[in-house]
Amino acid sequence: MADKLPDELIKEILSPFLRVPEGMFADMGSESVFCRFEISTLTILLVCKRWLRVATPLLYEVVILRSKAQAHALAGVLKANKAFGAFIKKLRVEGGYGAPMHQIITAAPNIKDLNITPEPEPLAPSLGFLDPSYIPFASASDAVQDQIWTRILSFAMQIEFRDRELSEVDIGTLHKAHTGKTSVALMRVSKMFHRLSLPLLYGYPIFYTIYSFQAFAASLVANPSLGSLVRSLPARTSHLGHDTRNMQVVLSRTPPLERLYAPDYGTSRLICLSRAFLDIHTFVMLVEKAGSTLVTFRNLEVSCDYHELPGTIFGNFKSLRSLEWMSRGRVSTATPSSSWLSTLETLKLSEFSHSFWKIISVLELPSLICLEIAFSSHEEIEIKEFFSVHGSKLRDLKLRCYGPFKLAIFDLCPHLTSVTLHNFYQSPQSSVFQCETDHKHLEKVIIPKSSGYSVLRDQEWATLFAELDLSMFSHLKEMQIDGCEWPTNERGISKNPWPRWAEETKDKWNVTITDGQGRAWKPRLKIRK
């Protein structure tokens, strides 16, 4: 009965046992899916001569090479039986480079799908003999192909992760992930990959050492057109402190720059200790070249020395949304226009001179919603004048005062939803929460942990909670206090006052106290007396 079956039917019967699924053939996992210990499919060919004749083309249709020995064996077979080479349609190479691979490729003219797992350079001389037919998205237009491949490359190069203000921890993570090597390797795949990945690589560069920064500057000098691709530039302290010349080279050649910042260490301090320095000449060059496109300028101190910064320079910022100013340098008098810093949303003032404050105070700042400012108590009058003009615009406020302050911030800023209160020398005072009218927008208060200049004692906190009046904050939901530490056992609960303060605040004002991690206290079961 079996002898009467046509070859075509036998082929259909044997195909499922010899076929290699497309998913397995294209698998890119670190461990080969073909590392198996089952009985080889070659045993099917030993059943009878007819099965051998029908199954041989199926066996050679998809070839998987995992070792040099297999490559040598296949090269020998193809040399002895030249017809077998025509059967090969797909070739996956996991190992076995050398002379046999050249013999295999030249003897198999019908290869349409090629999967090379290791580095492909050793096979380069032989690839010219291939004519692969499968090209991803071949039926799509060039524009659609570019969009799709750009999206794929951006994921592989982690562009979405890099397109933001990175911290030093983020840069270390990218370095460990070999993101730079991956990006360069992708550029070498093909001319199309090089064309599409070049704007991504230069658009969001990462510099792990000062030498990589110097190489980047040299590439912009050699090919000035690359400067038009740069969008974000992390200026690490080592680059600015030791290589001002190359920083000027880079900034003078990146006119469409949107983000210039110094990576910090991921802290939430108002004053960041990891800031970098930018001399006045480099800053002026930056504003003249990229002032119209710059969106973010953060964590860079402008060192003016004995020079005076022209006040009119702030009129060059046409798109700036986030500005952190750290400079005690003098700013020349200027008559500001209503368009100056009109797009500014976040203003962070860590250090500033009186001349700078005079200019910033008279600006309209129509888009301002977030303010972070460090000031001394003797500057309170000037700060109050600023709040009187701009306080109603603010939604987020972070204050750090060197000494006690008496600003009625909630009356001056009626639309705040979040406020951070950090007094540099002492614990917060209950008078800060005085408000003449009901504040209908405040939802969260953050009190950072005190710096090394003082230690907040329990007695100071006890005074605060005893005098605290939150009756004017009907929408306040949370007070996050970084100095709060929840006890972990029964003995700690009996000695630690924070659980009691948390429960009293919740019962009295319906406000939840959380620690620095945002964790609230969960009341324990108590014995009723």
- DSSP assigned state of 309: B
Q: Is 33 exposed, middle or buried (0-12, 13-18, 19+ CB in 10 A)?
A: middle
pLDDT at res. 367:
97
Q: What average pLDDT does range 308-330 have in this prediction?
A: 93
End-to-end CA distance of the chain: 93
Q: What average pLDDT does range 130-137 have in this prediction?
A: 72
Q: Which of 69-83, 137-151, 229-243 has the lowest mean pLDDT?
A: 229-243
pLDDT at res. 184:
87
| Residue 25 reports pLDDT greater than 50 | yes
Angstrom distance (rounded) from CA 399 to CA 349? 10
| Residue 451 reports pLDDT greater than 50 | no
Residue type at position 5: L
pLDDT at res. 319:
97
Residues recorded for the chain: 529
Domains of the chain by residue range:
2-129
What percentage of the chain carries pLDDT values higher than 90? 41
| Residue 294 reports pLDDT greater than 60 | yes
**Distance, CA of 464 to chain centre:** 39
Q: pLDDT, tens digit, for every residue of 357-370?
A: 989 988 999 999 99
Q: pLDDT, tens digit, for every residue of 456-510?
A: 567 888 888 999 999 999 999 999 998 888 998 888 888 899 999 999 999 999 9
| Residue 58 reports pLDDT greater than 90 | no
pLDDT at res. 286:
95
What percentage of the chain carries pLDDT values higher than 70? 87
pLDDT at res. 32:
66
Instruction: Please name the residue that has the structure tokens 């490729």.
Output: 105
pLDDT at res. 454:
42
Q: What average pLDDT does range 250-279 have in this prediction?
A: 76
pLDDT at res. 393:
96
Count of alpha carbons within 13 angstroms of residue 461, beta-carbon side: 21
Pairing of strands 346-351, 90-93: unpaired
Closest CA to 314 of 302, 253, 306: 302
Phi, psi of 357 (to 5 degrees): -65, -35
Q: Which of 29-38, 167-176, 338-347, 431-440 has the lowest mean pLDDT?
A: 29-38
- DSSP assigned state of 520: B
pLDDT at res. 261:
92
pLDDT at res. 29:
64
Closest CA to 411 of 433, 381, 382, 396: 433
Question: Residue 282 — pLDDT band, cuts 50, 70, 90?
Answer: very high
pLDDT at res. 455:
44
The CA angle 221-227-230, to the nearest 5 degrees, is: 140
Q: Which long-range contacts (C-beta less than 8 Å, at least 24 apart) are formed by 453-462? A: 453/424, 453/425, 454/424, 454/425, 454/426, 456/427, 456/483, 457/427, 458/497, 460/426, 460/427, 461/427, 461/497, 461/501, 462/497, 462/501
Could you tell me if 407 and 377 are in contact, meaning their C-beta atoms sit under 8 angstroms apart? no
Cβ–Cβ contacts within 10 Å for residue 486, how many?
A: 18
pTM of the model: 0.75
